[in-house]
Amino acid sequence: MAKRFKFSLEALLKIRSQSVETRKSELGKVVSLKEKRLQDVQDLEQANIANNHNFPGSGQVIYAMAYANHKKRIEKEKQDIIDEIKKIEEVEKERRKNLNLALQDEKVIEKLREKQYAEYLKELNKEEMDFLNEIASRTGKK
């Protein structure tokens, strides 16, 4: 009876696969955060455009000062978000690097598994041929 294929590093392969999935999830969270912050910048720009249309052309100085302060606050908030996006991009770059390393580790184990499986099939075919040759030699002697 032929033996079944058993990969000796199956547990390690599962760990590597889980590591890849974890890294994908971490990268997804960072990308999602970056997209949200980019949307926040766009929203601030839209709010700034809307405020430009709502500014009374002439009037009291206090309204002009309030408008100028509001505009400065929006620009500062926008710049803070842009700075945060730059930091997020650095984290994203690092997470992509970690994911690529994890994928390489997993691929090495997968290649080893494929190689061992090919050897297993070769050995199985050899055993089968030996068995068939033995049957043929026994029937030939009778």
Residue 142 within any structural domain of the chain: no
Residue 141 within any structural domain of the chain: no
pLDDT single digits (tens) 114-131: 999 999 999 999 999 999
- The first and second tokens of residue 71, run together, are 């505009």
For the entire predicted model, the pTM comes to: 0.72
pLDDT single digits (tens) 39-54: 999 998 888 777 666 6
45: domain range?
A: 10-111
Q: Assess whether pLDDT exceeds 90 at residue 16.
A: yes
| Total number of domains constituting the chain | 1
- Cα–Cα distances in angstroms (integers) from residue 28 to residues 24, 33, 81, 95, in the given order: 6, 9, 19, 9
**C-beta of residue 89 within 8 angstroms of C-beta of residue 34:** yes
